[in-house]
Amino acid sequence: MGDKSSPSGGHAIALFSGGLDSALAILLMLRQDIKVTALTFLTHFGCDIGDRSACGTDPYPVAEKFGFDVKLMHLGQKFLDIVEKPRYGRGRNMNVCTDCRILMLTEARKYMEQVGADFVVTGEVLGQRPMSQVRNKLNLTENQSGLKGKLLRPLSAKLCRPTEAELSGLVDRDKLEAIQGRSRKRQMELARQFGLEDYPSPAAGCLLTDVGYSNRLRDLLSHSERLTFDDLNLLRVGRHFRIDESTKVVVGRNEADNEKLITCRQAHHVHLEALGTGSPVTLLVGNASETNLARAAAITARYCASRHLDRVDVTVMNSTGQRTLSVRPARDEDLRAIIIR
C-alpha cells in the first residue's frame, strides 16, 4: 500500500462512510500510490460513530491499518436546510439523497481546493441503489457539486467517462473496476485481496429512510416554522403524540428512553411522572395550558404500572416548581387517534 507521507502520485479527497465500498475505493487509490485524505461526514440524521451499520462504523481502524488520514466534518445547519427544503425532492420517506450527495461532494470539492488536492473519490457503484446511483443521478451530482471531470468512482470507473486524473495518467484506468448492480461478490473478492477483513453489512443508516422517524419529522415540519437541533434530538426517543397544533407529548418507552428524555429536556418543556409507579418520563412540548397538562398527565398514567387504577397521581414539573394532578389514565382508543407512528 502507498506511503501517505511521500506518495509518488497525486492527492485524492475521498468520501468515507466506513463501509465496504468507500473503503475499497480508497484502497484502489492507495494501490496506485495516490495519497488519500478521507472525509467522514456527520449529520443529526446519521448513526453515531461506533454503530455497526455502514453509516456509523468507526473510520479510524481501517485508516490506521492501511495508512490514510481521516477528517470528520459535521454538516450541521447546511444539512438541516436541505432537509427542510430539498431542491431535488425526497425518496420514499423523508430522505433527501440527491441533495445530500450534492452537499457532501460540494464540501469535498471545497476541501480539495483548500488543500490543493487533485480529485475526489467516492465508493458509488453504478446501479447499486436504484434511486440515487443510476447514471443520470450520478451525472447530476457531479455537475451540481462543481466536480465535473474531477470525480472518480473507482468501483465503476470503466463504465463511466474517463476523468481528468485518468486522462492525464495520474490514475491508471486499467487498474480500476467495472462493477455494476447490487451484488457484492466482486467487492468481497477485492476485500480478500486487500486484507480488508472487518467491514459492516450494508445498511441505509440515515434516519431519514426510517418510516417511524420520517413520520415524526414530517409532523414536526408541518407544525414548526423552523427546525431546531433540540427538536430533532427528541424525534429519536419515545412515543410521540400530537395533542394540538402547537403541542406535542413525548413518552419514554423504557429506562433508556427515560434517561434520554431527561437529557433532552429544555427549560420550556414540562416534565411529568407518576412517581413511585414505574412511570415513564413524559415531556410536554408547546402550549402548557391546563387542558394540555391534564391530557399529558393522562397519557403518562396510561403507560405507568398503575394504569389499571381509576385515578393516578401524576407529578408535573416545570421551571417554576411542581404540583400533582389526579387523572384517569388515557384510553387506548383515544391515543390511537393522536399517536404519531
Per-residue pLDDT band at 198 (split at 50, 70, 90): confident
What is the spatial distance between Cα 191 and Cα 189, in angstroms, rounded to a whole number?
Answer: 5
Q: Per the structure block, which three cell numbers stand in for 37?
A: 485524505
What was the pLDDT predicted at 263?
Answer: 96
Domain boundaries, the chain: 11-194, 210-336
Multiple choice CATH, 11-194, 2.60.40.1180, 3.40.50.720, 3.40.50.620, 2.60.40.10: 3.40.50.620
Per-residue pLDDT band at 9 (split at 50, 70, 90): confident
C-alpha dihedral sign at 44, 49, 53, 59: positive
What was the pLDDT predicted at 121?
Answer: 98
Q: Which residue has the cell 468515507?
A: 16
Q: Is the pLDDT of residue 200 over 80?
A: no
Q: What is the pLDDT of residues 50-77, one digit of tens each?
A: 443 445 567 899 999 999 999 999 999 9
Query: Average pLDDT, whole number, for the chain?
Result: 92
Q: What is the pLDDT of residues 139-185, one digit of tens each?
A: 999 999 999 999 999 999 999 999 999 999 999 999 999 999 989 99
Spell out the residues 6+ positions from residue 157 whose beta carbon is closer than 8 angstroms to its own: 163, 166, 173, 176, 177, 178
Enter the pTM of the model.
0.89
CA dihedral 157, 160, 166, 168 (to 10 degrees): -170
CA dihedral 295, 296, 302, 304 (to 10 degrees): -150
